[in-house]
Amino acid sequence: MNHFIIDKTSPIPYYYQIEEWLRGLIASGQLKPGDMLTDEITLAGQLGVSRMTMRHALNHLANEGLLTRQRGRGTFVAPPRSQVPFVRDQIRSMTEEMAAEGHALRSRVLAQALLPASAEMVRELGLPVGDQVILIRRLRSTEGVPLAIENAHHPYRRFPELLTRDLTDRSIYEILEQEYNTRPTEAADTIVAGTATREEAALLEIEEGAPVMRYKRISRDANGGPLEYTTAIIRADRYQFVIRYRKPME
């Protein structure tokens, strides 16, 4: 790490000057993925700022995905974020989206159960009150790193075999197309920012309270029939959504 001096006459906050300095070192390759930074207290002393100011800068860069902070170990330069692309001229599953970019998405089934449809599922999917749905809860990973916890709900009366099918490393959309001759043609996706609970953090291998993206998809088939009510908790430090809009050929 090259020598850096805080400009204490500048109106730019100290923490932001530190962030820009570290961003520059990462962008130039002077700090590489996996490199460990000098500890927080020592860095603060070297730069002549409070520990709180230094922590603010490091936490901000960690929230942006440039650093990872590991309790008991230290602060490290994070690997570059992988892109999760969404092309908006068709509706694809997460498995299909990642495969299109050359990434294999692995799936570990955490739960596969029959549940009564919640009031929100009844409303959003137009299901009869009292209908049942199949919950398929999976941990999705790519390149050995957890990406998301996915909770997919599908109407049991339409897709009963999903309750007992081995869905390890399988695309549910692929099964729906091959075995039921259907797939989503209409979907509404919602993405909001959030923080990881203790359980979510353990599965995603991040700190409790770390930033995550909370994703929801409600989809229907070509006849308006309900297909899915899916939610996912996605790591925000290693992945970013890139939405590409493509005009269909006329």
Residues contacting residue 229 through CB under 8 Å, at least 6 positions apart: 120, 121, 124, 125, 133, 152, 153, 216, 217, 218
Please determine, for residue 192, whether its predicted confidence score (pLDDT) is greater than 80: yes
> Mean pLDDT of all residues in the chain?
85
pLDDT class of 18 with cuts at 50, 70, 90: very high
pLDDT at 2 over 60: no
Mean pLDDT over 13-28 rounds to 88
pTM of the model: 0.65
* One-letter amino acid of 5: I
pLDDT digits (tens, 9 = 90+) for 157-169: 999 999 999 999 8
Q: Could you give the count of Cα atoms lying within 13 Å of 140 in the half-sphere of its Cβ?
A: 27
Residue 43: exposure state from Cβ atoms within 10 A (0-12, 13-18, ≥19):
buried
For 214-244, write each residue's pLDDT tens digit: 989 999 999 999 999 999 999 887 777 666 6
Is pLDDT larger for residue 99 or for residue 187?
A: 187
Q: 1-5, 65-69, 74-78, 183-187: lowest mean pLDDT where?
A: 1-5
Question: In terms of DSSP bridges, do strands 239-244 and 82-87 run parallel, antiparallel, or are they unpaired?
Answer: parallel
Write down the pLDDT at residue 85.
55
Whether 136 has a pLDDT exceeding 90, the answer reads: yes
Domains, the chain: 14-77 (1.10.10.10), 82-244 (3.40.1410.10)
Q: Quick one: average pLDDT of 145-149?
A: 90
Summarize pLDDT for 62-114 with one digit per residue, the tens: 877 788 888 788 999 988 766 555 555 566 666 666 656 666 778 999 999 99
